[in-house]
Amino acid sequence: MHRRALLLSGLAALLTATEAVALSVYVAEDGQVSGPFDEAALKARLESRTKAAATLVWMQGMADWTPASKVPALAALVAGLPLDAPFDPAAYLVGAWVSDDHAMGSGKNAFVGKISVVFAANGSFTMQITGNRTTLKAIPAPQPGAPPMESEYLYWDISTVGTYVLRQQADGYFEVTMKGTVTDNSVNADGNALKGEEVREFRRMGPDHMQTRYGVNYRRTAS
């Protein structure tokens, strides 16, 4: 009886010590290490079992980085996650994005440059467009058969401040309507502020990568 009491006492002490050790896990993504995360923070970071299978983690006692779904100590946590986290385009859009793609304009205009846009959670946004615009103007052809065009190069520096509205579409794209005040700070521009509206359609390509319906890429960046 005395021996049984000692065994039960030792087991209780062991369980108490085990419960006292908080989960402390590091996460490696895109070549960067973050953490440590406790159980609640790690659960929020992993979001789903699908993401857990693709997320490398490390905790004390492990020999190397391992997908979270294959770590025995995290088995219960991973099992409690949904298979795939529901996509929330409104939350996904919030943040700073940059596009360095070649963006064609309408008519005979072409724009090559950088678009930086920051979407805030309160529905406001700021956008900056910088780069070169080439305008093709018709002139008399120097000889029969020659294209009657010449190039005019302008430097663009345009800023927009306003609000946006997001609407989910059935085909996986989400439509963002941006309304605001557009100021042209380009060389030789008058600098007048005008009201403008623009609609863009995006689709999520990855955690930090979205693409417009016409193939222009936007990458998430530090604000």
User: Which pLDDT tens digit goes with each residue over 20-73?
Assistant: 458 899 999 878 898 899 999 998 888 889 889 989 999 999 999 999 999 999
Q: Is the dihedral of CA 33, 35, 39, 41 positive or negative?
A: negative
Q: Where are the domains of the chain?
A: 22-86, 89-221
pLDDT at 145: 62
Domain range 89-221, its CATH number among 3.30.450, 2.40.128, 1.10.10, 1.10.3470: 2.40.128
Q: 6 pLDDT band (50/70/90 cuts)? A: very low
Segment 152-173 shows an average pLDDT of: 87
* d(C-alpha 160, C-alpha 163), whole Å: 10
* d(C-alpha 221, C-alpha 36), whole Å: 23
Q: List beta partners, residue 49.
A: none
* d(C-alpha 102, C-alpha 82), whole Å: 39
Bigger pLDDT: 4 vs 91: 91
Segment 141-159 shows an average pLDDT of: 63
Dump pLDDT digits (tens) for 115-144: 999 999 999 999 998 887 666 555 555 556
pLDDT at 73: 93
* d(C-alpha 121, C-alpha 126), whole Å: 12
Percent of the chain exceeding pLDDT 70 equals 72
Asked if the model's pLDDT at residue 18 lies above 50, the reply is no
pLDDT at 153: 54
pLDDT at 170: 87
Judging by beta carbons within 10 Å of its beta carbon (0-12, 13-18, 19+), is residue 30 exposed, middle or buried? Answer: exposed
